[in-house]
Amino acid sequence: MIRSGSELVGRGKKRTKVTLRTTIAFLICVPFVYPFYFLVVTAFKSNSDYIHNELGIPHPFVITQFLTAWRSVDLGQAMIDSTIAATVSVIVLIVLTAPAAEWCARTRSRRKSIVLGIVAVVWMVPVIIWIIPLFVELSVVHLTNSDVVLGVVYGVANAPLGLYLLYAYLADAIDPQIREAAAVDGATPKRVFFSISLPLSLPVLSTVAVLGFVFAWGDVLIAAVLLQSSNTWTVPLAATSFTSRMGIALQAEAAAALLSMLPLAVLFVIFQKGIVRGLTVGSGR
């Protein structure tokens, strides 16, 4: 079959556009991929290999840094502490945001706009402004150095994000006529929430839960202020303690960072489809 010149020109332009987009996407990814590559190759190198081959592939691969990282800063206990704080964070986040989002979705008065406006303003306040006064108040009542309290703080700090995500979904996904019909049948707002809104919002709830867990697992600032004792340190604090305890132990720090990332990698692999579905639900995709 003989193709016309215009068809060949069109195909050529299309290939050029695809190549250009791929090149641009690759260049955009480089600043994000390079640090991870550097982290991985550094974690598997010996000291001499790192000095003479800083950016190259490890030769040979060494795993002693991982054993050092695990034992020196008790990384296993730190993972348990991080899991406690992150789990409490997710529970507090869901308990706070789900009923609040339901109330905003069914309320049509100006009170809803006022509440959402206040939440937005509070959300924009930098952490560094409120974390020191909070530490002072918690110190007075002896509630610092607690992973549970840290988890509660995480849950409250992430509540604005969870509220807006859930509210945007509930306001769009559930027709007001469904609520009115349920009310006519005698269903209370509580019954509507548990029987209709909550089951329908499970994809977004799972996304909010995962995002809250990831934030709690990776936070350094809030944990560094509220956890003064090394016995309650979370993973980021334990992983960064190599610099202060052992001078500059770059390979051990890189190994500790990789070990601390493994639970999050597993989490994203398991809940990847749910996260994508929760973020794109209601967008027509």
**Lowest mean pLDDT: which of 51-55, 57-61, 279-283?**
279-283
Residue 78 CB-half CA count within 13 A? 29
Assess contact for 162 and 96: CB atoms under 8 A.
yes
Closest of 179, 201, 181, 205 to residue 190, by C-alpha: 179
Taking the alpha carbons of 39, 45, 47, 48 in that order, is the dihedral positive or negative?
negative
Q: What is the pLDDT of residues 208-245, one digit of tens each?
A: 998 899 999 989 899 999 998 888 889 888 877 765 55
pLDDT for residue 284: 46
Share of the chain above pLDDT 90, in %: 22
Q: Give the per-residue pLDDT at 244.
A: 53
If pLDDT is split at 50, 70 and 90, which confidence band does 139 have? very high
H helices of the chain, where? 5-43, 47-52, 64-72, 75-106, 110-123, 127-140, 147-173, 176-184, 189-192, 198-200, 202-218, 221-226, 235-240, 242-245, 250-280
pLDDT at 248 over 80: no
Please name the amino acid found at residue 62. V
Mean pLDDT of the chain: 82
Q: What angle, rounded to 10 degrees, do the helices at 147-173 and 110-123 form?
A: 140
| Rounded (5°) CA angle 132-137-140 | 125
Return d(Cα 87, Cα 2) in angstroms, integer: 64
Question: What is the b/e burial string over 234-246, where b = at least 16 CB atoms within 10 angstroms of the residue's CB?
Answer: bbbbbbbbbeeee
Please write the tens of the pLDDT for every residue from 5-44: 566 556 667 778 888 888 888 888 888 788 888 888 888 8
Place of tokens 């919002």: 201
Of residues 242 and 190, more confidence is placed in: 190
User: Mean pLDDT, to the nearest integer, of 105-134?
Assistant: 87
* Cβ within 8 Å of residue 73, ≥6 positions away: 233, 238, 239, 241, 242, 245, 256
